[in-house]
Structure 1
Amino acid sequence: MKPVIKAFIFDAYGTLFDVHSVMEELEQYFPEKGQAISQTWRKKQVEYFFMRQIMDRYKPFDHVTRDSLIYAVKENGQNISAEALEKMLNAYRKLAHYDEVSDVLKRLQDKELIIFSNGSDNMLRPLIDYSGLGPLFTDVISADEIKQYKPSPAAYLHALQKAGVKREEVLFMSSNGWDISGAKSFGFNTAWINRNGLPVEELQLEPDAEYRDLSGILKWV
C-alpha cells in the first residue's frame, strides 16, 4: 500500500530542466566542443558543491556554476571571454524543461508542489519565470537558504520544515542518483527519474520507485 502523499518535492536541474539544453549556445562559441564542455560543466558543478560541502568552504550555486564552466572550457583547450562567460551563465537561467513536465504538474494541482534545489535563488527564480511553470508550484526552496547542499541531511530537513508535512507524506523526485540516496537516507519516499538509464547507486539506499520520466509519479496520486 502506497503512503498518502501530501507534498511532491522536485529537484530542478536534470529533473525538471535539461541542463544540456545550453549545448547549442556553447557550440556558437566553441564549435565542435559544445557537447564535451556541457558534460564537463555539469560534472564539475556537482563535484565542486560536494567538495565545498565536505571542506566547509561554502559558496552559492551561481559561484559554483561559474567556476565549473571556466574549468570545463579550459579542460577542452579553450578560452572564454568575459562576455561569453556571462552569456553562458545567463543561458543557464533559460534551460528548457522536459516535454512531460507541464502536463504532469497540471495533473497534480490539488497537491502541494515544491521545487527544492541546490540552485541559488538568483538562478532558480529567473529559470522558473522563463519556463512559465512558476504558477504551478506552491513553493521554491533553495539549499542556499541554510548554506547546506543536498545530500546533507540538514538540507532535506530544511525542505521538510518549510513544506509543513511529515517525512512519510513526501514524495521526493530527482534524476540524480546521489540526491535520491540522500533523500532516502533522510526518510523521504523517493522516485528516481532515471532519464539516462543508469544503475542504482551502490549505497544500499534503493529508491521506492524508478521511472524514465516524470509521468510515472502519477501512480502515487
Structure 2
Amino acid sequence: MTTKICIFDAYGTLFDVSAAAREAAEEPGRDEFAVHWPKLAEHWRAKQLQYTWLRAITGAHTDFWKVTEDGLDWALEAVGLDGDAELRTRLLQLYLELSAYPEVPDMLRALKARDRQTAILSNGSPSMLASAVESAGIAPLLDDVLSVEDVGIFKPARVVYEMVGNRFGCAPEEVLFVSSNGWDAAGAAGFGFTTVWVNRAGDPMDRLPWTPTHVLPDLTTIPELIRN
C-alpha cells in the first residue's frame, strides 16, 4: 500500500534531547557543570521516559513538561547539583529551544517534494512542541503537530497511535512512523504502522513482541523509503 503520510516522534528523533545540557555546559562560568553534563543528560532522558511509562501504567497522567521537570530534578540530585536553582532554570529554558538534528530540514523538504504529508506525534505538551518547532524553523514543513494531551496518556498506548488515523483519515498501512525510541517504533509496528527506528547510538534491539520495519542510523534516507 502507498505510504501517504510520514509521522515523526519529536524528542530524540527530530530534536536533540542532549542539546540543552550540552549548550549549557558551553556557556561561560559553567566549568563544574561541564564535567557533569553528559551524565546529567543521560539521567534526565532516562527518568523522563521512565516517568511517562509509570504514569501511563498507573493512570496518573500529567503533562510532559511536569515529567521533564521531575526528570531534571532527579538528574541534578544524582550529579550533586540540585542546589543550583539558576542552572535548573537555564536547562529548562534551553529544553524549550532544542536544536533539530542537522539532516531534519532537508529530509522534511524531500518528503514534501514527494507530495507526502508530514506530522509530529509526541508525548510533548502542545506548548513545548510549538516552542521546539518554532525554534527549529520547521513549522512550514509539517502538516500538523499531534500531542498525547488530546487523549491523556503517553505512548505506547494504542489510543495515541489512533490519533493519526483520526486526524488524517488514513489506514495504519499508509503510515510511515519514525522514532528514535526502539520501544516506540515497536509499539507503532504492533499497531500496524510501517516503522523506522532511528538508532543513532547503535543500541541492541528491544526484546518486545514487535520489531521495527527498518533500522537507520539517522533520518537522511527516510525519503528513500517512500513507496509511490
Cα deviations by residue, 1:151-202 (Å, 9 ceiling, x for unpaired): 0001111232112211100000001001011101111110111111112111
Taking structure 1 as the reference length, the TM-score comes to 0.95
- 1:10 matched to 2:8? The reply is yes
The 2-side partners of 1:191 and 1:24 are apart by 27
The 1-side partners of 2:83 and 2:72 are apart by 9
The 1-side partners of 2:34 and 2:197 are apart by 34
Residue in 2 aligned with 1:102?
105
- 1:129 matched to 2:127? The reply is no
How many aligned positions are there? 219
Cα deviations by residue, 1:110-157 (Å, 9 ceiling, x for unpaired): 111001100001111011001100110000000111111110001111
Q: Which amino acid aligns with 1:8?
A: C
What is the RMSD computed on CA atoms of the aligned residues? 1.3
Query: What secondary structure, in the 3-state scheme, does the structure 2 residue paired with 1:114 have?
Result: strand
Residue in 2 aligned with 1:79?
82
Query: What secondary structure, in the 3-state scheme, does the structure 2 residue paired with 1:32 have?
Result: helix
Cα deviations by residue, 1:198-220 (Å, 9 ceiling, x for unpaired): 12111131211111111222222
- Report deviation, 1:26: 4.0
Residue in 2 aligned with 1:20?
18
The 1-side partners of 2:124 and 2:83 are apart by 23
- Please say if residues 26 and 38 of structure 1, whose CA atoms lie closer than 8 Å, have aligned partners that are also in contact: no
Residue in 1 aligned with 2:191?
186
Q: Which amino acid aligns with 2:22?
A: E
> Which structure 2 segments of 5+ residues have no match?
none
The 2-side partners of 1:18 and 1:151 are apart by 20
- 1:67 matched to 2:70? The reply is yes
- Cα distance change on mapping 1:7 and 1:80 into 2, 3 Å: farther
The 2-side partners of 1:64 and 1:177 are apart by 20
> Which structure 1 segments of 5+ residues have no match?
none
Q: Which amino acid aligns with 2:12?
A: G
Q: Which amino acid aligns with 1:76?
A: V
Q: Percent identity?
A: 38
The 2-side partners of 1:184 and 1:51 are apart by 22
Where do 1:1-221 residues align within 5 Å? 3-27=1-25, 28=30, 30-109=33-112, 110-221=115-226
208-217 vs 20-29, which deviates more? 20-29
